[in-house]
A and B are shown apart, each in its own frame.
Chain A
Amino acid sequence: MSFQHIEPNKDDFGVPVGDPGLQKLLSRMGASIAWQPGQQYVLITAADHRVISFTIGDPRFNAGSVFTQASFAPYTSRGDVYLPLESLARSINLAPLNDGNEVILQPQLTLLDVRSDGDKTTVSFRGAVLASPRVRAEADRLVLEFTGLGSALQASRKLSSAGVSEINVAVSGTMRNPTTTVNIVHARNVAVERVAGSDPSEVQYAFSPHGEIATPHLPPAPPVLVPRAASTPQSEPTLTPAGAASVTAVDVTPNGSGITVRLAITGSANYEWHRLPQPDTRWYLDIKGASLTAAARDEPEDTDAVKSLRVRQLANAPPTVRVALTLDSKKRVDIIPFAGGLTVNVPGEDIADATRSGNGTIGSGARAYTPALPLASPSGAKSTVNIAPYRAPNPHLIVIDPGHGGSDPGAHNATTVEKDLNLDVSQRLRSLLVARGWIVQMTRTADADVYGRNASDRNELQARCDIANAAGARIFISMHTNSYVNSSPSGTTTYYYKSQDLPLAQAIHHRLVPLLGTKDDGVVKNRFYVIAHTTMPAVLIETAFLSNPNDAELLRSADFLQRIAQGVADGVRDYAGSPAGTLRPGR
C-alpha cells in the first residue's frame, strides 16, 4: 500500500485527506475519514468508536478527548487538507518504523492489562485491529500468537496475581509481517477460559486457580422497577377499589431537556393531576389511596425544562402520594400508565394551551384508559391527555397493516422472517375483530408489496396509510416484530405519534403485555411513517424481538401469536367498545 500525493514535512509526511492510499489504510483499520471544503475539522472515526479530530491550522489533535501535539498543523493545499501522517498513524495504533528506505506503518498490540478479582485473574489485550490470536494451551502456560501485530509492550513482568506468575511478550518476524507472542505462565491447577468482556474490541482470558470460572461481568440490565408476573387477562376489565396501592420505586431519568419519572405502583389507585394557574409552571399528580414505600424526594433538577421534583406522602383521607413538578415554563407533561405503574414524562416541549387537569386509574385489573374522545369527569376536568377529536367517516372499520411484505422482508433470524409473522398475527387479529362485529380491512393479505414490487420506501409506506385514510377507518394498527444487532434487547413496545394515538396505544399495551409475559418496553412516542401519516388514531406494535432467544422461542409458538392477537383485540375493546354496542354514529 502506498500514498500518491505524500510530501515530506518536518520529521513527518503530509498526506491529503483524499489520497486513495490513506483511504485504503483507514478502511483496512476499520476507520473512516471525513472532511468537506469550508470545514475546520478533519474527523476520523476509529474502529473503537473514538473520534480523532484534526483542526486546520492547529498543531494539536484530539484523539478520544486526549489532546496530543502533532508534527505540524494540518494545512490546505490544492483544494485538499494535508495531515501529519505519522501522528495520524499513531492515533490509530500504527507504529511508523523506518527500515532505511521507507516508512512502514506497523499495526500494534497496544494494551496488556491484568486485573485481579479475588480468586480470578483476567488478562486483556487490545490491538490496532481486532485480534483473534492463535492459542496454544499447555499445562502451566497459555501462549497467544497475534499474527500481523508488532508491539512495544514491556517484555517481561512478574506477577503475584491469583494463578498467574509471569507474562512475557516477544516480537518476531519482519517489520512487514510481525508476530507478537504473549506467554502467560500460570499454576498447573488453573482453569483458563476466554471470556466476553464488556468491550468487544478486547480479547480477554480469565485464570481461576480453583478451577471455576465465574460468569464474566456483563453490563447491568436496564433497571426493571417491578418484577411482573405473567397474568391472565380477565374477560372484561374490572375496577378495583383504591386504597391498597403502594408507590414502591421512583426512577428519574433525564431525557434531554426534560425528565422522565417512572413510578412503580403495586395495587390499584385513582389518580388526578392539576396544572396550577399563574404561574402555570407548577404541576402535580395525586395518587389517591396510595402509600409511599419508596424514599420521598425533594430535589432540584438540572434540566432546561424541570427545575424541581418532589415526591411525598400526604396525610389526606385517603392517604395520597403527591408528585410535584416546578417547570421552567408552560411545558407539556404526559402521563403514560404501564403495566407496573405510571410514567410522568416532561419532554421539554413548550405548549400554548395546556389542559389544566385530568384523572385516571392505574394498577392491576383496573380500567386505566379513558375512551377515545374526551370525557367530562365529575369535576368537569378533561381526560388525561389532549386529544384532537377525530370523527371517523367509517366508524365500524379497522385497518390492520401487516408490516413489510413482498420485496421487503423486514427483520429475520435463522428460522423466521418478520413479514410472515406480521401477516400471521394480523390474520388472527382480523378474525377476532370480525367476530366482535368490526369491519376489517388489511393493507395486504399475502406476501406482497402494497404499492408495488421494489417501490420506493416512501411509496410503500404511504400506500398503507392511503388505504386507511381513503376508507375513513376508525383505527389503524400496524403489526411488526422487532430485531437488533445483538440478542440483548427483548420485549414489547407500542408506538404512537399523534396525541390522539396515545389512548389507543395505552389501551392495547395494557392488555398485550400481561397476556404475553414479555418484558414491558413501554408505550413510546416515535415518528414512524405509518402512524405519522394516518389521519385516525394509529399504533405500531413491536410484539417481541426475533433477535432475542427467549422472545424468538415464543414467536415460534402458535399459541403466542394467538395471544398477541387476543391482547390487541382486547385493547381495542377497552378503547372503543364494540361497534354494535357503545359506538354512536359519527364516532
Chain B
Amino acid sequence: MRSSRVFFLLLLLAVVAAAWWWSSQKKQGIVGDTVTVYYTKTDGTTEVPWTISMGPARDLKSVVFYAATQAVAGPAANIDAIRFPTGTHVRGVNVEGTIADVDLSGQVKSASGGSFGESGEFKSLVWTLTKIPGIDGVRVLVDGMRLDALPGGHLELDRPLKRSDW
C-alpha cells in the first residue's frame, strides 16, 4: 500500500515537472515552425516580409541565429532585393537582454561604397530580428569584433540598431 502511494507521488511529481518544462518552453514564445524574414526592395526603403519554415527550436538564441542567417542570405535569387555582399554570412549570434549580437563574416566589408546597399542590408536584418518576440535591437560585429562603422560606411553601428532608426 505504502509503496503504491510512493509510486503515485513520484508519478505526480513527474507529471508536474513535465508540465513545468513544457510551460517554460512555451513562455519563450518562440516555439513554432515558421519565422518571418524581411528583405528590402530595390526602392531602398520598402520592407517585404516572407515566412520560412524552420526545424523545432526551443531557445531564443537558435531562432535568432536561424532568422539572421536567412535575412543575410536574402530571398530566392529571382527576387529583386537589396542583398549583402556575396559570401556574407552569420558566424554566430548572442542574445543579451533584448539585444541580439550578430557576428557577420568579413565579406560584409566589401560593399560598393554607397549608402544605398548598406542601409537596405541592415534594415532587413534589423526588421527580421526585431520581429522575434523579446528582441528589440541588433548589435553588429564583424569577424567577432565590435565596430563603430563599416570601412567607408555611413551607418552608425556603435549602438544597437533599432527599427526606429529607419
Contact = CB atoms under 8 A, between A and B. Distances in A.
B156 A36 contact: no
Contact of A53 (B54, B59, B75, B116): B54
B149 A45 contact: no
22 contacts: A34-B69, A34-B90, A40-B55, A40-B57, A41-B57, A45-B72, A51-B52, A51-B66, A54-B55, A58-B56, A199-B76, A255-B46, A404-B152, A410-B152, A457-B151, A457-B152, A461-B156, A485-B83, A485-B85, A521-B43, A525-B166, A547-B114
**3 A-B pairs with least C-beta separation:** A411-B113, A458-B148, A483-B114
B115 A457 contact: no
B155 interface: yes
Contacts of A365: none
B42 A198 contact: no
A408 B117 contact: no
Contacts of A347: 163-164, 166
B76 A528 contact: no
B78 interface: yes
B100 to A, nearest CB: 14
Given A62-B54, A347-B163, A546 B114 contact: yes
B99 interface: no
Contacts of A349: 163-164
Nearest to B90: A34
Given A53-B54, A253-B46, A526-B165, A458 B149 contact: yes
Chain A CB within 10 A, most for which of B38, B85, B116: B116
B2 to A, nearest CB: 39
Contacts of B45: 255, 260, 522, 524
Interface in B152-166: 152-156, 158, 161, 163-166
A48 B77 contact: yes
B20 to A, nearest CB: 21
Contact of B163 (A32, A43, A257, A411): A257
A65 interface: yes
Interface of B: 38, 41-49, 52-59, 61-62, 65-66, 69-70, 72-80, 82-83, 85-87, 89-93, 105, 111-117, 119, 127, 130-131, 147-156, 158, 161, 163-166
Interface stretch (A16-24, A387-395, A487-495): A487-495
B55 A58 contact: yes
B53 A411 contact: no
Given A34-B69, A546-B114, A254 B53 contact: no
B115 A49 contact: no
Contacts of A527: 155-156, 161, 165-166
A528 B154 contact: yes
Given A41-B54, A49-B74, 13 more contacts: A45-B89, A55-B55, A62-B54, A197-B78, A222-B41, A347-B166, A348-B163, A349-B164, A457-B149, A480-B154, A540-B154, A542-B116, A547-B114
Contacts of B58: 40
A412 B114 CA distance: 9
A533 B55 contact: no
A484 B90 CA distance: 22
Nearest to B74: A49
Contacts of A61: 55
Interface string A26-70: 000010101010111101010011110111001011101101000
A41 B54 CA distance: 10
Given A256-B47, A410-B152, A482 B115 contact: yes
A62 B57 CA distance: 13
A86 interface: no
B117 A485 contact: yes
A202 to B, nearest CB: 8
A51 B53 CA distance: 11
Contacts of B77: 48-49, 199-202
